[in-house]
A and B are shown apart, each in its own frame.
Chain A
């Protein structure tokens, strides 16, 4: 984290309200982009803004507005199955393909230069923005918003160290899994994760990487086989590669794959409740970079590790 002072919530509130002069706005924006702590506070303030908005006196628009919107919708018909891969699948633990088990479960070595791509600059963002001045531009800028930051937010050590934040952790994680089919079972696992018996492990990098240093937080309940990983500041990957989390059992058995994921544009990544066997005590956790959708045995080096 930078040595520059954080913005206090007064300034962040004005920023969220978009009431700062453009140079001030840009300064806050630059800081917040690189500061998980201020992003966390900003996320809360954004939630407060939504609260404020819901306090207005409510009116329904004329029925003709609905007709106009739906007519426009019908006019812009979609070509049915648009199932192209999203550019950066966000944070979902990828399905592992049912590939045959590798005969050897030893760590493989890979040439070091292929481990990480450089952190991406974002040239692809430019083509997504409608022309400046269009009201749609704001909509589209806002469209990048995601629950991700909730989790990036949670991923900071500060956040987890706060005594009173267990309940929020629960809420945020619940948000992250809401809408999934397994949500009911997940809720049960969530209870396990937020109980005091769950292990919390900080994963850090070993190599001298660029600031801010990548880090991850694992919360793991062995009894239930429930796990959440929240990672931030991860280097961008080549398109065909994924990060994969490994649970290293304390009884000396082989590492167990615990979810593959790709970080988003900001370098935040997460794994929520991957399929894991129950009652495996963990000695450590590690994150490696793997091909495709992740493998069954980790490929060296381990980019983040913690025990």
Chain B
């Protein structure tokens, strides 16, 4: 039985059902739908975890927790809908930083949306966003790129970065903000 689930054809037929549909099915206990959701987003979740942690078994461990949590409480995600792909990417980043810094997760604001102009449940749009982001990151000044990566992927605070780079904390803050705005332009295309 379990073997059958694992052999689900996940690469041959493109999955057309949207996130909300998959989540509804998952809520009813549909394991195939869970597999489809996993296949849709595992790549970005894993890649973000790996980029932060540089350690595949730690990345795999958190990845499993994230997806099993979805299986347990899909109803909490129903309202995320079109932005599930955005949400998962940020959850992966934050979970990885928490693990990296060995800290308890910070309290987050409920009900803050992900303002993504992309339909990330769509393969093509996910790739498009990835390409545009990479192109925009490549356009950042090297120092800016470095500082932003320290904040985003290493979870270092602006004060920590300031110490390490001999910039003022103010400059570091502005640099991080500017990099995010540059990436926002990338997202808009």
Residues of A within 8 A of B (CB): 9-11, 13-14, 17-22, 25-26, 29, 32-33, 39, 42-62, 65-74, 76-82, 86, 90-91, 132-133, 135-153, 171-172, 174-176, 178-179, 264-266, 268
Contact = CB atoms under 8 A, between A and B. Distances in A.
Contacts of A78: 27-29
A226 B131 CA distance: 37
B126 interface: yes
Contact of B158 (A19, A48, A71): A19
B109 A51 contact: no
28 contacts: A10-B173, A13-B177, A13-B180, A18-B94, A19-B155, A19-B156, A39-B111, A39-B112, A47-B83, A48-B181, A48-B184, A50-B90, A50-B114, A52-B93, A55-B137, A57-B51, A61-B63, A65-B46, A70-B6, A70-B34, A76-B71, A77-B29, A78-B29, A141-B105, A141-B108, A145-B111, A153-B115, A265-B110
B114 A135 contact: no
Contact of A175 (B2, B81, B158, B183): B81
Contacts of B18: 178-179
B111 A148 contact: yes
Contacts of A175: 81-83
Nearest to B77: A143
A176 B79 CA distance: 9
A76 B97 contact: no
Given A70-B6, A70-B35, 11 more contacts: A17-B176, A18-B155, A29-B108, A47-B114, A62-B56, A66-B38, A67-B6, A79-B29, A145-B111, A145-B113, A148-B113
| Ranked 9 nearest A-B pairs via Cβ | A138-B105, A78-B29, A55-B133, A50-B86, A53-B89, A47-B115, A179-B20, A146-B79, A143-B76
Contacts of A135: 62, 65, 95, 98-99, 105
A14 to B, nearest CB: 6
A147 B83 contact: yes
Given A54-B133, A178-B81, A265-B110, A59 B50 contact: yes
A153 B115 CA distance: 10
Chain B binding surface, main DSSP class:
helix
Contacts of A53: 44, 48, 89-90, 92-93
A293 to B, nearest CB: 19
Interface of B: 1-2, 5-6, 18-21, 27-29, 31, 34-35, 38-39, 42-44, 46-48, 50-51, 56, 59-60, 62-69, 71-73, 75-77, 79-83, 85-87, 89-95, 97-99, 104-117, 119-120, 126, 129-130, 133-134, 136-137, 148, 151-152, 155-158, 173-174, 176-177, 180-181, 183-184, 186-187
Contacts of A69: 38, 63-64, 67-68
A129 to B, nearest CB: 10
Contacts of B5: 70, 73-74
A144 B111 contact: yes
Contacts of B71: 72-73, 76
A26 B126 CA distance: 33
A145 B31 contact: no
A144 to B, nearest CB: 4
Contacts of B120: 50, 54
Contacts of A142: 87, 90-91, 94, 108
A82 B133 contact: no
A62 B64 CA distance: 12
A25 B6 CA distance: 42
Given A14-B176, A29-B109, A66-B42, A80 B29 contact: yes
A150 B76 contact: no
Contacts of A172: 115
Contact of A145 (B56, B87, B98): B87
A43 B113 contact: yes
B47 A65 contact: no
B86 to A, nearest CB: 3
Given A49-B90, A69-B68, A143-B73, A19 B112 contact: no
B32 to A, nearest CB: 10
Given A43-B114, A171-B117, A179-B82, A48 B109 contact: no
Nearest to B89: A53
Nearest to B117: A171
B31 A14 contact: no
A104 B40 CA distance: 53
A199 B66 CA distance: 43
Contacts of A9: 177, 181
A13 B186 CA distance: 17
